Amino acid sequence: QGCAQKYIVKNYFYYYLFKFSAALGEEIFYITFLPFTYWNIDHSVSRRMIIIWSIVMYIGQVSKDILKWPRPLSPPVVKLELRTDAEYGMPSTHAMAATAISFSFLTATMNQYEYPFELGLVAAFVFSMLVCLSRLYTGMHTVLDVIGGALISAVLLMLLYPAWDMIDHLLLTSPFCPLLSIVVPLVLCYNYPKLDYYSPTRGDTTTILGAGAGATVGFWLNNQYVAPAYTGENLQLGIPLITSKIVVVVLARFFVGIFVVLLTRQLMKSVVLGMLGYRYKFPIGDLEARRRLEVEVPYKFITYSSVGFSATVIVPLLHKLLGLM
């Protein structure tokens, strides 16, 4: 482990297609698509996707470290990734995330916007299928891992769908929402299943729950102090409504928002790591120290809860100030 196996790329189309598809289940996709939906499409759709994503990913990550099923052996497979090789395999959280995000987006929009349902269904299926196949192509999962991840995600979606409106209402209106949104994820992170060796699953789970917690607090604040039952100024889906002016506004919102989100992440990383380094007496560059429970959980939770809060509160305020609303 930790050593890249040499390989020769014989089909660059498949290689880049599945490398790109694999990225659709990673942080670079979450930190762009989920905020983009909130800023430019529909607040209610984004809220539902973020909550489903947080729940599904937590269950998937914990399941890995409880089941402890190994990843495919290399050789015979060639592994194109190194970072996640230290994790266990079953279920594939890439498959879970892709299924959850694509089909929650479909179910959340099909009753609000006019578009061919069959087209949306095909798009959701293709998106999730590409991510699932990428995990096989990159050698990171078995077929059983991928099928198991997709099925678990589908079952969770079916179980949660009837309660979507109730959960959304509670998140927006309950006076206990901000406290519970922070305390419950923190308790789950500190009580994450322990392994005999370090795995990035705990850190990744903390990142996800932190982002979800910050966003949830932002949802509540928006509903309390910006507009009740906050849904925002939605752009209707459909080609006839897409004009050059709308495209410019959408792109401006996106780039302003991403700049603020990335700046928040970098600033909070530096500040929180600096404070923890001072508290526990370790240099910021000490990777082993940063993997300790008392460092990793607060470092990642505070950083990414700040990112979620920034994306849902600070960025929309900045959009309004810049005349982009």
Q: Which residues are catalytic?
A: 94, 141
* Measured distance CA(220)–CA(16) in Å, rounded: 40
DSSP 188-217: HHHTPPP-SS--THHHHHHHHHHHHHHHHH
- Please give the C-alpha separations between residue 200 and each of 185, 211, 291, in angstroms, as whole numbers: 17, 17, 9
Query: What phi and psi, each to the nearest 5 degrees, are found at residue 144?
Result: -65, -40
Select from 101, 89, 106, 118 the least CA-distant residue to 24: 101
- Residues 6 or more apart whose Cβ sits within 8 Å of residue 125: 102
Select from 163, 197, 205 the least CA-distant residue to 60: 205
Burial, 251: exposed, middle or buried (Cβ in 10 Å; 0-12, 13-18, 19+)?
exposed
Triad 153, 155, 157: Cα angle to 5°: 70
217 token code pair = 């607090």
